[in-house]
A and B are shown apart, each in its own frame.
Chain A
Amino acid sequence: MYQWDFSILWSYRWLFLNGLGVTVGFTVVIVVLGLVFGLFGAFGTLSRFKAVRLLALTFIEAFRCTPILVQLIWFYYALPILAGVEMTPITASALALSLYGGSFYSEIIRGGIISIDRGQSEAGAALGMTPGQSMRRIVLPQAIKRMIPALMNQSIIQFKNTSLVSVLAVPDLVYQSQVAAHDSYRPLETYTAVAVAYAAILIPLTIMVRRGEKRLAVSE
């Protein structure tokens, strides 16, 4: 019978905290960058120009339909050879995760925009707004409200996806706990603690999302 002993983890607390800091910081970066890519992707697919639509769709499908783990490895090992640019593990994984997230954000944002009744942009146009003005003033404010639950959901997935950057030796929570596990010979305790740490951060977030969805349902 295995003897659990969580007390050994205490001596690695700074290592864990450090890793957690990297994980959270990384999530913030890839969510923000991902939203930027997502915005470009969404407007790309809605463009009047076929070439732009095709480009945006290629981006979305390329990143949506390949595994993120493969993308991470590919960005770090293959891209430097193809493009001749050296990247640090952090840059490579930030880029891969942002583009991966961006492909999903694109679809959420596009879906939100096209869910708004055409009459809304028509009413804007009838007042004399340019398409850009009616997008900013009329369509987006309504669409964003509808997108928020799905965007939050995708961001939660992104938070967990950061755990994969450990394969490129980015010192996130999972990477640091690998270090701790090897050092202490206590992998079971270590990874249990890591799972609890992820859940402790995400469960309050999911509760927020659910509340938000309810409030949205009421206001519509």
Chain B
Amino acid sequence: MSDTSKIEIRGLRKSFGSNEVLKSISLDVAKGGVVALIGPSGSGKSTLLRCVNLLVTPDGGSVRVGDTRFSFGESTKLPDVKTLARFRATTGMVFQHFNLFPHMTTLQNVMEGPITVRRMAKADAEKLARAQLAKVGLAEKADQYPATLSGGQKQRVAIARALAMEPDVMLFDEATSALDPELVGEVLAVIQRLASEGMTMVIVTHEIAFAREVADRLIFMRDGVVVEEGPARQVIDNPQQAATRAFLSHFHRTGTLPPANATT
């Protein structure tokens, strides 16, 4: 797998104080692959995701995305801010609480990365940003401020903002958990389309039916370890571990996805 893998994580460890959140995690994501991370809260899945783009600095192990590899341990020096910034520019991230920039219009939000980080000319950045907004179905909201948008629209803008950096991989940190139920579908539809376009993605989610539909691999975590891993449908339909079975019993695992009625 390592020939084609886009993301490779080996022996990743992370503690917050005396609380060991990740206990030697290894993970591969193939180019164009979609991996869903599921598990109860406190299982370490969000921390693992944040270690992929180094928003959280691991205590040990290694992270590789594309051709860039970072190793961590007691003797290794932490990468400097410029190296980190350059690395993160190649990984897009979508947050649970959107984290849109409230002092900028929707268009400016999407233009911000290309202008500040990629040093793109303003006119080019605007063209790119408008295209990305159109892609998530929000072209006509370009001049509005985030405060005037619904949660689902905000999250789609956040996806457009991440995509405007033309990243190699996309990371979704519970992207639909803060949304009203009727708004979940429109965001999932956008993610699903990205998957079908071949974007490499890691998705932390509680939407089990969605993970079953969209992810090709599924990882179930608990207490900082990977309990079970495999093809998404296989793990969800036929979990091997008792802990996985217990967790999945709380969810409707199949059925139709929430309707993506709004593309506007």
Residues in chain A within 8 A of chain B (CB atoms)? 117, 119-120, 122-123, 125-131, 133, 137-138, 141-142, 145
Contact = CB atoms under 8 A, between A and B. Distances in A.
B87 to A, nearest CB: 8
B153 interface: no
Contact of B101 (A123, A125, A126, A145): A123
B162 to A, nearest CB: 7
B117 A126 contact: no
A128 B99 contact: no
B10 interface: no
A128 B88 contact: yes
A131 B55 CA distance: 12
B101 A133 contact: no
Interface string B78-103: 00011011111111110101011111
Contacts of B85: 125, 128-130, 133
A84 B186 CA distance: 71
Contacts, number: 66
A119 B162 contact: no
A130 B112 contact: no
Interface residues of B, number: 30
Contacts of B102: 142
B161 interface: yes
A119 B95 contact: yes
A126 B93 contact: yes
B97 to A, nearest CB: 6
Chain A to chain B: the 4 pairs with minimum beta-carbon distance, closest first: A128-B89, A123-B99, A119-B99, A126-B93
B175 to A, nearest CB: 13
Contacts of B103: 141-142, 145
Given A119-B97, A137-B112, A131 B165 contact: no
